[in-house]
Amino acid sequence: MAVVQEITDLRKTLNTEVESLRHEFLDLKTALKTQLELTSGLAPSVVEAEPQLAALKEKISSELNIK
């Protein structure tokens, strides 16, 4: 009977750990999805800003006579 109780206790502990890991995984998955959405949202802004930055650099260089 002690062996059955020990197995039952181990099973409960294992189920608790699995449930905890499942929640942690879902939290990480949500965080990653959010991060990817934010990153992909920023990517077009960076690409669009590159010509503006190049023009600004050129303007500053010409005004300061720097090449």
Q: Quote the domain boundaries for residue 7.
A: 1-67
Structure tokens at 11: 């099973």
Q: 48, 42 in Cβ contact below 8 A?
A: no
Query: Do the beta carbons of residue 67 and residue 61 sit within 8 Å?
Result: yes
Q: How high is the pLDDT of residue 43?
A: 64
- When divided into structural domains, the chain yields a total of 1
What is this structure's pTM?
Answer: 0.55
How far apart are alpha carbons 22 and 34 in whole angstroms? 18
Q: Which of 34, 32, 27 is nearest to 19 (CA)?
A: 27
pLDDT in tens, the chain (67 residues): 799 999 999 999 999 999 999 999 999 999 999 998 888 877 666 667 788 888 888 888 888 876 5
Q: Which pLDDT belongs to residue 30? A: 94
